[in-house]
Amino acid sequence: MSETQRRSNFSGDRAVSYGSVGATQAADVLVFPPAGFRSAQSEFRLGSGQERFDTATAALMTWGVPKGSHLEVVSVNEAHSEGYNGLLFNEFGAPVPPTADALDQLFAPDGTPYLSAGTTVELAKLWSPSELTTSHRVIYVVREDRRMGYALGTLDYEPVIGEEFFSVEWRDDDSVWSVVRSVTAIAEGRKYFYLSPLIRLRQWLQRRQYVRSLLPARTA
């Protein structure tokens, strides 16, 4: 399967809390983020070879990033697949008809189903020591022969809104990398204006955790 496959679902009981849905898939978003947003990308080498890629992607697609980053997955609500085909885009960002392969449910070696577009997840400890929990939706999923990942979009309006894309890449030199790309904005209001430097620092530190979360020692 060589074509980039991204599945998106914007229906459900709650809408995402930002307007630039899917922004993390734009090739130039690191240079030209949406107005009012900041973009950033972090990456970390996980090893090399297909075995490392397969192991890392299995962890990635079964919530390995939050679990390996010391976050708590409070709840997961699967998307309703009946009648839902999602949206697919090719490598140029153009929409294409869904294929049977794109809609197939994939599983990790232990039988755990891979996450899918439209799934919502509630996370705790993201803003520790605050007890705040945050809600997110899987906006799209990417399936390629040498890259796999998904984007999470915020459902809450504070303290941060936007989208983050988590992926594993098996590059031409045989190296395997964890990559995190974010396009986010800090909530409006005087409180968040003064807290914005601390929030951006926390985001930077969290991205460092994210890209290291799929190391073998953390996914064992």
> Tens digit of pLDDT for each residue in 44-103?
999 999 999 999 999 999 999 999 999 999 999 987 654 334 445 555 544 455 555 555
Mean pLDDT over the full length of the chain: 85
Measured torsion, CA atoms of residues 104, 57, 183, 191, in degrees rounded to the nearest 10 = 110
What is the Cα–Cα distance from 206 to 212, expressed in whole angstroms? 10
Indicate the burial class of 220 (C-beta count within 10 angstroms; 0-12, 13-18, 19 or more).
exposed
Please determine, for residue 3, whether its predicted confidence score (pLDDT) is greater than 90: no
Q: Which residue has the higher pLDDT, 121 or 82?
A: 121
Residue 196 DSSP one-character state: H
Please determine, for residue 211, whether its predicted confidence score (pLDDT) is greater than 70: yes
What is the Cα–Cα distance from 68 to 65, expressed in whole angstroms? 5
How do residues 135-146 score in pLDDT, each as one tens digit?
A: 999 999 999 999
Q: What is the pLDDT of residue 209?
A: 96
How do residues 127-171 score in pLDDT, each as one tens digit?
A: 888 888 999 999 999 999 999 999 999 999 999 999 999 999 999
Q: What is the pLDDT of residue 103?
A: 58
SS3 at position 124: strand
Q: What is the pLDDT of residue 10?
A: 40
